[in-house]
C-alpha cells in the first residue's frame, strides 16, 4: 500500500466515524488534514514518503511497518547458505544453524503476517508471521487449485506415491496457522513428501502449542531457489515461541523438496523415475540429493500441465478416480488421525476424540497426520 492509498483509507475510515457521530472535534481536524494531504499527494506536492509506513488490517490498526517486515524477510533470505546444508540421505528434513533460529522475540511486537511480493520470475519469497490464537483459521480451507506456482506440473506416479501426485501447492505459512488459502505469495510447488513428511510435523508443532497455551510463535519460512530455477530446492523453516522465549517451540530446519524414487529438474519442474532416489543413495554410496542436471529427462509418470485441481487444492487430472471416503477417528489435540480399530483410537481421551467421515487428503489438508501404527 503506497502513501496515497494509505491516506485515502484513513480519510474514508474517519469520515465513516464522523457520519455515525463517533468522531470527536480533534478527530475531525485530523480528517480534514488528511484530506488536504491526499490532495497534495495526488498533485505531486507531498514530500518524501515517511520512513515508517504501515500495512493496515481490516480494522484499520497498524500491524507491522513495511520496513520492519521487509527487514525480517530479507534477513531470512540473506542468512541462509544452501551450500552448508547436508545432501539428502533419506530424512525429509535436517537441522541447520544448530537449531538456533535467527529470530528474536524482541522483534515480534506488532508483527502479524507478511508475504514477500513475487520476484521477476513469479517466485515466492520469505513469509513471516506472529502465529497466535487470533491467526488460527475459523473456516474450512477453500479451493486453491486456481494457483499455478512456478515450476508447476500435474504429474502422478501411482505406484511410488501413496497419494499419487508428485506436486502439491505447498503453503509457506500453513493453512492451520494463518487460514491463508489462495494466496499466490504463500504457495510454492513442492513434493508431496516435503509437504507431509517435511513441513507438516513442524506446522503441527506450532499449531498444537498455540492451541494448548494461547501463546504466540514467531514463524518464518523461506523457499530456497538456486539461480533462476522455478522449483525451490527446499524450504527453510524457523520458529520461536514468544512468551516463553523459545521454551515451548524452537526450531531451525531445512526441508528437502525431493520425492523418493523420483528425480526433479528444478529449473523446469519436469520429473522422471530414478531408483537411486528411493533411499537417497546412489550406487556408489554417495548422496543423491541434486537431481538437477540441466536436462528435463523423460518421465515415466503422466504429465498434464493443464490438469485441474481437486476440492482440497491438491493436483489432479481430469478423469482420475475419486478418493474413497472413510470414517476416521481424530485426536484434536495431537492432530493425528486413526482407523476406528486402532489401539490409539480406542485408548484416546474422550475430550480429544472426534469422528470424521471423508477422504484422507481432506484430513491432511486440514493439518492432520496419519497414525504411524495403523497407517490409515
Q: What would the pLDDT profile of 51-61 be if each residue is shown by its tens digit?
A: 322 232 333 33
What pLDDT, on the 0 to 100 scale, is given for residue 77?
57
Same domain, 66 and 44: no
Which of 82-90's residues contact partners 24+ apart within 8 Å by CB, and which partners? 82/224, 82/226, 82/233, 85/234, 85/254, 86/287, 87/280, 87/287, 87/288, 87/289, 87/290, 88/256, 88/258, 88/280, 88/287, 88/288, 88/289, 89/280, 89/281, 89/287, 89/289, 90/279, 90/280, 90/281
Residue 297 corresponds to which cell in the numbers above? 529427462
pLDDT digits (tens, 9 = 90+) for 172-200: 999 999 999 899 999 999 999 999 999 99
Same domain, 259 and 343: no
Is residue 200 situated within a structural domain? yes
Same domain, 43 and 190: no
Same domain, 44 and 74: no
pLDDT digits (tens, 9 = 90+) for 246-276: 999 999 999 999 999 999 999 999 999 998 8
- Please give the backbone phi and psi of residue 89, each rounded to the nearest 5 degrees, phi first: -130, 20
**More confident of the two residues 14 and 361:** 361
DSSP H or E stretch at residue 30: helix 25-42
Is residue 308 situated within a structural domain? no
Give the total residue count for the chain.
Answer: 376
Same domain, 66 and 11: no
Mean pLDDT of the chain: 75
Is residue 375 situated within a structural domain? no
Is residue 84 situated within a structural domain? yes
Mean pLDDT within 31-46: 45
In total, how many domains does the chain have? 3
Helix, strand, coil percentages, rounded to 5, for the chain:
25, 20, 50
Mean pLDDT within 310-321: 34
**Interior/surface letters 80-114, b for 16+ CB within 10 angstroms, e for the rest:** beeeebeebeeebbbebbeeebebebebbeebbbb
The C-alpha torsion from 164 through 169 and 170 to 172, rounded to 10°, is 180
Same domain, 9 and 36: yes
pLDDT digits (tens, 9 = 90+) for 356-365: 888 888 888 7
Residue 334 corresponds to which cell in the numbers above? 495431537
Q: Is the pLDDT of residue 20 over 50?
A: no
Q: Which domain holds residue 44?
A: 3-49
Same domain, 187 and 104: yes
Alpha-carbon distance of 37 to 11, in angstroms, equals 10
- Domain-terminating residue out of 266, 288, 303: 303
Same domain, 294 and 356: no
3-state secondary structure of 355: strand
Residue 242 corresponds to which cell in the numbers above? 514468544
Same domain, 9 and 70: no
229: CATH: 3.40.570.10
Is residue 309 situated within a structural domain? no
Mean pLDDT within 93-121: 89
Same domain, 232 and 123: yes
Q: Which band of pLDDT confidence, cut at 50, 70 and 90, is reported for residue 70?
A: low
Is residue 204 situated within a structural domain? yes
Is residue 56 situated within a structural domain? no
What pLDDT, on the 0 to 100 scale, is given for residue 36?
47
Is residue 318 situated within a structural domain? no
Same domain, 32 and 108: no
Percentage above 90 pLDDT, the chain: 45
Same domain, 223 and 100: yes
Predicted TM-score (pTM) of the model is: 0.61
Residue 334 near residue 348 (C-beta atoms within 8 A): no
Amino acid at each position: 500500500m503506497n502513501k496515497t492509498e494509505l491516506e485515502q483509507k484513513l480519510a474514508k475510515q474517519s469520515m465513516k466515524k464522523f457520519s455515525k457521530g463517533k468522531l470527536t472535534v480533534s478527530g475531525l481536524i485530523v480528517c480534514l488534514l488528511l484530506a488536504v494531504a491526499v490532495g497534495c499527494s495526488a498533485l505531486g506536492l507531498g514530500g518524501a514518503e515517511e520512513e515508517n509506513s504501515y500495512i493496515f488490517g481490516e480494522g484499520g490498526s497498524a500491524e507491522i511497518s513495511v520496513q520492519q517486515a521487509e527487514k525480517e524477510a530479507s534477513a531470512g533470505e540473506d542468512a541462509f547458505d544452501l551450500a552448508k546444508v547436508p545432501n539428502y540421505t533419506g530424512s525429509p528434513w535436517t537441522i541447520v544453524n544448530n537449531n538456533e533460529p535467527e529470530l528474536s522475540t524482541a522483534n515480534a511486537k506488532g508483527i502479524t503476517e507478511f508475504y514477500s511480493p513475487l520476484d521477476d520470475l513469479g517466485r515466492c519469497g520469505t513469509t513471516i508471521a506472529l502465529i497466535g490464537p487470533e491467526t488460527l483459521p475459523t473456516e474450512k480451507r477453500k479451493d486453491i487449485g486456481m494457483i499455478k506456482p512456478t515450476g508447476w506440473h500435474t504429474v502422478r506416479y501411482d505406484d511410488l506415491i501413496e497419494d499419487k501426485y508428485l506436486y502439491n501447492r505447498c503453503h509457506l505459512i500453513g493453512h492451520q496457522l494463518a487460514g491463508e488459502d489462495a494466496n499466490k505469495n504463500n504457495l510454492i510447488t513442492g513434493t508431496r513428501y516435503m509437504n507431509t513428511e517435511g513441513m507438516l510435523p513442524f506446522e503441527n508443532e506450532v499449531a498444537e502449542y498455540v492451541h494448548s497455551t494461547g501463546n504466540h510463535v514467531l514463524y518464518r519460512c523461506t523457499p530456497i531457489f538456486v539461480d533462476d530455477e522455478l522449483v525451490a530446492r527446499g524450504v527453510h523453516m524457523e520458529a520461536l515461541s514468544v512468551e516463553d522465549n523459545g521454551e515451548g517451540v524452537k526450531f531451525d530446519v531445512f526441508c528437502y523438496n525431493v520425492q523418493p524414487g523420483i528425480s526433479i529438474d528444478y529449473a523446469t519442474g519436469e520429473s522422471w523415475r530414478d531408483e537411486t532416489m528411493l533411499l537417497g543413495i546412489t550406487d556408489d554410496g554417495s548422496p543423491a540429493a541434486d537431481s538437477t542436471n540441466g536436462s528435463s529427462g523423460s518421465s515415466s509418470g503422466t504429465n498434464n500441465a493443464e490438469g485441474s485441481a481437486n476440492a482440497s487444492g491438491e493436483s489432479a487430472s481430469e478423469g482420475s478416480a475419486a478418493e474413497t471416503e472413510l470414517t476416521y477417528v481424530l485426536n484434536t489435540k495431537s492432530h493425528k488421525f486413526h482407523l476406528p480399530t486402532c489401539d490409539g483410537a480406542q485408548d484416546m481421551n474422550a475430550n480429544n476424540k472426534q469422528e470424521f467421515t471423508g477422504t484422507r487428503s481432506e484430513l491432511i489438508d486440514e493439518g492432520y497426520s496419519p497414525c504411524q501404527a495403523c497407517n490409515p
